[in-house]
């Protein structure tokens, strides 16, 4: 019984062991199948993943290529635009720099030309002034000699005229006295040309009156001198010339103005030469007002002989004198010296 029980237990255990072994074998087979299926599934998944990866890579590559192409085109367009803007800016800067260089070059050229012209003009003016001074000196020498001869002849004629007029006046005076004694009711005798007699007496008496007038008040004498100038009478030239060296600059100034007015209106060549010479000396007077009046007076005389004195006045230290000299030179610009004419005349005189 016990043996049967033991055998039963051993059979049960043997059956259990066999069952376990069989189960183990079955599990091993299932495990192998599962592993095989897992490998196949993994292979399939790997194949599918690689396929999808390839497609994704191809898609991404295509998108990347498209984007790269588009970006490249945009960059090229931007680069071209920047290049165009840079080139345009460079061209603008180049044009501006070129204009600045041209302006600076023209300015330097103008300055160089102006400097050269100034230097050449100064040299020509110096040479011209030198020739003019030599010519003027020669003419002045001849002029002084002619003046002395003319003054001598004029004094002789004036003395003869004075003597003749005095004799005539005395004769008429004696005749009038005799007529008054013989016939008181008779009308007075009219003298021959009383205006001429009065004019000649004024001419004779003018130098004496001028010397006496120099002692009067400057204001009164100055007004009288201006009145002489307004009259335009040649007979006042001699008394005016005697007042040229008056100590009062106001008198000398009015003398210059009066001489200019008289000479500008109606004067013979002899008086004109005398007045121009005196006015030329007054352009170097110590007083600026006298120099200015002398220049203005020369500007009223229509003669080319006044030009050298006016040109010298252009270099005066006083601004008003220079301004008057410029205006006077514009007035006499049609009477410019013709080169070569005066030296030839001087040679003929010599």
**Which range is least confidently modeled, 218-222, 266-270, 271-275, 293-297?**
266-270
Q: What is the DSSP letter of 303?
A: -
User: What residues does each domain of the chain span?
Assistant: 109-179, 232-339
> How many Cβ atoms from other residues are within 10 Å of residue 216's Cβ?
11
pTM exceeds cut of 0.85: no
pLDDT in tens, 86-113: 899 998 999 999 999 998 998 898 888 8
Alpha-carbon distances of 203 from 206, 235, 241, 255, rounded to whole Å = 5, 6, 13, 17
10 Å Cβ neighbour count for 6? 10
In whole angstroms, give the CA distance from residue 19 to residue 236.
Answer: 177
CB 268 within 8 Å of CB 294: no
What pLDDT, on the 0 to 100 scale, is given for residue 75? 92
In whole angstroms, give the CA distance from residue 162 to residue 160.
Answer: 5
CATH number of 232-339: 1.25.10.10
Longest dimension (CA), the chain: 239
Q: Say yes or no to pLDDT of 2 above 60.
A: yes
Q: What is the CA 63 to chain-centroid distance, rounded?
A: 74
Contact criterion met (CB below 8 Å) for 271 and 309: no
What pLDDT was estimated at residue 141?
Answer: 79
pLDDT band at 291 (very low <50, low <70, confident <90, very high): very high
Position 161 scores a pLDDT of 74
- Give 118-143 as a DSSP string: HHHHHHHHHHHHHHHHHHHHHHHHHH
Q: What is the mean pLDDT of the chain?
A: 78
How high is the pLDDT of residue 336? 54
Mean pLDDT of 48-66: 90
Vertex 278, ends 275 and 281: CA angle to 5°? 150
* Phi/psi-derived region of residue 318, left when phi > 0, alpha when psi is between -120 and 50, beta in every other case: beta
Q: What percent of the chain is modeled with pLDDT above 90?
A: 18
């Amino acid at each position: 019984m016990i043996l049967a029980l033991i055998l039963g237990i051993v059979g049960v255990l043997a059956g259990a062991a066999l069952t376990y072994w069989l189960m183990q074998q079955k599990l091993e087979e299932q495990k192998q199948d599962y592993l095989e299926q897992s490998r196949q599934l993994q292979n399939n998944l790997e194949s599918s993943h690689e396929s999808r990866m390839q497609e994704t890579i191809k898609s991404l590559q295509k998108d990347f290529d498209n984007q790269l192409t588009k970006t490249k085109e945009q960059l090229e367009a931007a680069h071209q635009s920047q290049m165009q803007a840079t080139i345009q800016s460079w061209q603008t800067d180049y044009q501006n720099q070129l204009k600045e260089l041209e302006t600076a070059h023209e300015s330097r050229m103008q300055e160089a030309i102006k400097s050269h012209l100034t230097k050449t003009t100064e040299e020509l003016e110096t040479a011209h002034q030198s020739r003019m001074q030599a010519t003027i000196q020669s003419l002045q020498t001849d002029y002084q000699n002619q003046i002395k001869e003319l003054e001598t002849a004029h004094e002789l004629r004036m003395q003869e005229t004075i003597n003749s007029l005095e004799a005539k006046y005395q004769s008429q005076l004696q005749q009038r006295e005799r007529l008054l004694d013989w016939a008181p009711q008779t009308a007075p005798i009219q003298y021959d040309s009383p205006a001429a007699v009065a004019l000649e007496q004024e001419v004779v008496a003018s130098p004496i009156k001028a010397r006496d007038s120099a002692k009067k008040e400057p204001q009164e004498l100055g007004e009288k001198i201006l009145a002489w100038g307004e009259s335009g009478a040649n007979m006042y030239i001699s008394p005016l010339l005697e007042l040229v060296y008056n100590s009062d600059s106001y008198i000398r100034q009015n003398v210059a103005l009066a001489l200019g007015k008289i000479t500008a209106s109606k004067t013979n060549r002899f008086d004109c030469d005398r007045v121009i010479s005196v006015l030329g000396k007054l352009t170097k007077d110590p007083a600026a007002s006298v120099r200015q009046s002398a220049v203005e007076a020369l500007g009223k005389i229509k003669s080319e002989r006044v030009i050298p004195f006016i040109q010298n006045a252009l270099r005066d230290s006083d601004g008003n004198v220079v301004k008057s000299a410029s205006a006077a030179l514009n007035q006499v610009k049609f009477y410019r010296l013709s080169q070569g004419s005066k030296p030839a005349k001087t040679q003929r005189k010599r």
